[in-house]
Structure 1
Amino acid sequence: MNLTHIEHIGIAVKSLDDAIPFWEKQLGMKCYSIEEVKEQKVRTAFFKIGQSKIELLESTDPEGPIGKFIEKKGEGVQHIAFAVEGLQSNLDELAGNGVQLIDKAPRKGAEGLNIAFLHPKSTAGVLMELCEDPNK
């Protein structure tokens, strides 16, 4: 594996409008980006802390992954994402080692990153995302 840092921690919320003020007013962080990722049926809000980010995730469809997560588990930490170099080669290596992948090939995610998820069955119950910046 070629991990470089924690890219972000994804937190499922019912409403960005309700959640963003806590992060800004109580923690003194600034939301620098809100975007919709239609393919994932989600709206995201990002906050930077050091080299890492917090990603708030609001479902745009109750049948989407975040809508289902909130229905089953409520609001809270949904995934941890790691920045990698060579996303596809890392996925191939993990698959070769018997790790169950949700995504066998990278797909587009928020902020223009290429992303892929590892199944929690192979990661001690933690949904993990690998992210690669295609511009680096």
Structure 2
Amino acid sequence: MTGQLDHIGIFVESLEKAIPFYQTVIGQGAPVIKEVPELGLRLAFFHRQGGLPVELVEASGKSEMRHGDVVVALEVDDLEAEIARLKAAGIKAYHQKPTKNLPLHRGWITKGDGHGTIVELCPKGEVERFVLGGAR
């Protein structure tokens, strides 16, 4: 693991209601919107505000995440090695394979296993490439 934050995600009830608030708070224009219907997600990324990207997440599908939950996304150099390291330490870490509209292979520690915090493991640079239009 690189030990650095990749981004934070905030679960909201409605992107349409939340975006104006976060535009004002962050002081940035319109976010990059991504639709992921196969996972029941709509995402809004405030990408360049002088700090870490902020992702708003609207979930309509089945999820343990609720309005107000925060995802701490950590950057990893090698996702497979990091998941193996965490499992060896007794931490339940899971793979999330890419989907058609979310072409990122990521890892997760769920809210239940993460002491109330959702931890996302992101291969270095992948979220940025996805947001800017070209995840590999």
Other-structure match for 1:5 = 4
- 1:114-136 deviation per Cα after TM superposition (whole angstroms, max 9, x unaligned): 21101344433311000112868
The normalised TM-score by structure 2 is 0.76
Q: Could you say if the C-alpha distance between residues 93 and 27 of structure 1 is closer, same or farther in structure 2, counting changes exceeding 3 Å?
A: closer
Q: Which one has a larger percent helix, Structure 1 or Structure 2?
A: 1
Alignment map for 1:55-134 (pairs within 5 Å): 55-61=55-61, 64-65=62-63, 69-70=65-66, 75-101=67-93, 103=94, 105-108=95-98, 112-132=103-123, 133=126
Unpaired segments ≥5 residues, structure 1: none
Number of aligned residue pairs: 125
| Cα distance between partner residues in 2 of 1:78 and 1:117 | 13
Other-structure match for 2:24 = 25
| Cα distance between partner residues in 2 of 1:107 and 1:51 | 28
The normalised TM-score by structure 1 is 0.76
- Matched position secondary structure for 1:89: helix
Measured after TM superposition, the shift of residue 47 of structure 1 is: 0.6
- Matched position secondary structure for 2:19: helix
Unpaired segments ≥5 residues, structure 2: 130-134
Identity %: 28
Q: Which one has a larger percent strand, Structure 1 or Structure 2?
A: 1
Other-structure match for 2:132 = none
